[in-house]
Structure 1
């Protein structure tokens, strides 16, 4: 028992050491204060990026996109943004291999992934900090699930995203974000989730117009493994099957 405890402490210390090495002598509090300072400094703004954002504004998202001037990513102590994004099966039944079903329910999901950001501990990099899973009952003419999804890095080193899945009579909308110092959070149809208590949120639209939610923990696999993990692990769990196929679900 003592040996196990010692090994765990050693691994934890090594994780903190690696994390602090990349940040140099800067604390997360100092980085946060520097981020705020940079946002208010026009000399650091990336105006070309803002012009591109104006062109890409999407009216379909739950919260309307806003094109703000943001500092160059590497202005934050030279530590740059290193990727991130979305994994989803919005394409639904247009690609047979991408279709997910639980009994007679068609399932869609969206995962938001952190890239290899030096602001986050190593075990959190290149992993999904948030996944939403729901049931749909309609697709468009190309067999894509109705809705959209979007990943945002403009609040570097805080990252987030939003999106929606539309059913015949309702809509599942979500916004989620993660921070290196304050945790990760999601809002799904105005229900707030603290993601440290479960990074996978299942939501089922009900026939009466209401919703049900289930928050569970996942192993936050890397982007390349998200689809298979959901298919072969999450959707095989007894509590998940029961939740998705309960009486009243569309």
Structure 2
């Protein structure tokens, strides 16, 4: 009888915790929705815009080809309206790697620790939200015009990066973004990737003009660790097999 009472008490405690968690999640989602609505209103309210930043963007409008989208200059609400310390910076890590005789371009986008993401970073100075590795059959070490990328903060508190990597007969275009709610997606030559299932995307162009992709469930990474991770990744048998296929370029 005592065991039965103890079991029932445990069930009541677990049920209470579950209900509390549900309330917290509900309130959290409501808070996010309200913040989103406020941000949208600020986008439409010229009194909230950062005019100095807008004028600077106008001067830099001729940025050149940086990926699938032409860069747009939109007025943006002042970043601190989201919250003081809500933006600390974004960046790109680039690299070139080799698997035997195969050449691989790597690009990754990261967001620095700020007041919105610091709880999940657990001490890391930034977080990589997207990484792409593309097999290529050509390298330009003179003009460096076969690959380019850029990551932008102008959707703060959401961030978007894009770029391209050219092969002899093809071009791989990609775009990726992460939201303040930590939802992240990428598009590579019209294929959609939900990055919650893996932040690392491998692309292998084939001789017949088709493409192959492999999504990797990579660990949480920072800009400091991404290169070392990639060096280890390209030694993985599955990755070697993917890039070394006889049908690849």
Q: State the TM-score, normalized to the length of structure 1.
A: 0.81
Secondary structure in structure 1 of the residue aligned to 2:225: helix
Q: Does structure 1 residue 51 correspond to structure 2 residue 51?
A: no
Displacement of 1:143 in angstroms is 6.9
Could you say which residue in structure 2 is the equivalent of 1:67? 73
- Unaligned runs of 5+ residues in structure 2 are 1-20
Question: What does residue range 152-171 of structure 1 map to in structure 2 within 5 Å?
Answer: 152-171=152-171
Q: Distance in 1 between matches of 2:168 and 2:211?
A: 14
Range 157-166 or range 179-188, more displaced = 179-188
Could you say which residue in structure 2 is the equivalent of 1:122? 119
Secondary structure in structure 2 of the residue aligned to 1:117: coil
Q: Distance in 1 between matches of 2:234 and 2:143?
A: 22
Q: How many residues align?
A: 218
95, 110, 113: which is aligned to 2:110?
A: 113
> Does structure 2 retain, via aligned residues, the 8 Å contact 1:34–1:76?
no
63, 85, 90: which is aligned to 1:84?
A: 90
Could you say which residue in structure 1 is the equivalent of 2:243? 244
> Does structure 1 retain, via aligned residues, the 8 Å contact 2:160–2:177?
yes
Displacement of 1:182 in angstroms is 6.2
> Does structure 1 retain, via aligned residues, the 8 Å contact 2:127–2:222?
yes
Question: What does residue range 198-213 of structure 1 map to in structure 2 within 5 Å?
Answer: 198-213=198-213
Secondary structure in structure 2 of the residue aligned to 1:67: coil
Q: Distance in 2 between matches of 1:138 and 1:243?
A: 18
Provide closer, same or farther for how the CA distance between residues 63 and 229 of structure 1 changes in structure 2, counting only shifts above 3 A.
same
Q: Distance in 1 between matches of 2:83 and 2:31?
A: 11
Q: State the TM-score, normalized to the length of structure 2.
A: 0.81
Q: Distance in 1 between matches of 2:206 and 2:47?
A: 51
Displacement of 1:141 in angstroms is 4.8
> Does structure 1 retain, via aligned residues, the 8 Å contact 2:50–2:77?
yes
RMSD between aligned residues: 2.2
Q: Distance in 2 between matches of 1:76 and 1:182?
A: 16
Displacement of 1:205 in angstroms is 1.0
Range 28-37 or range 157-166, more displaced = 28-37
> Does structure 1 retain, via aligned residues, the 8 Å contact 2:187–2:193?
yes
Question: What does residue range 92-107 of structure 1 map to in structure 2 within 5 Å?
Answer: 92=96, 100-107=97-104
Could you say which residue in structure 2 is the equivalent of 1:28? 32
> Does structure 2 retain, via aligned residues, the 8 Å contact 1:109–1:132?
yes
Provide closer, same or farther for how the CA distance between residues 245 and 53 of structure 1 changes in structure 2, counting only shifts above 3 A.
same
Q: Distance in 2 between matches of 1:84 and 1:182?
A: 15
Q: 4+ residue stretches of structure 1 with deviation over 4 A?
A: none
Could you say which residue in structure 1 is the equivalent of 2:10? none
Question: What does residue range 222-233 of structure 1 map to in structure 2 within 5 Å?
Answer: 222-232=222-232
Displacement of 1:235 in angstroms is 1.0
- Unaligned runs of 5+ residues in structure 1 are 1-15, 93-99
Find the structure with the greater CA-based Rg. 2
> Does structure 2 retain, via aligned residues, the 8 Å contact 1:139–1:145?
no
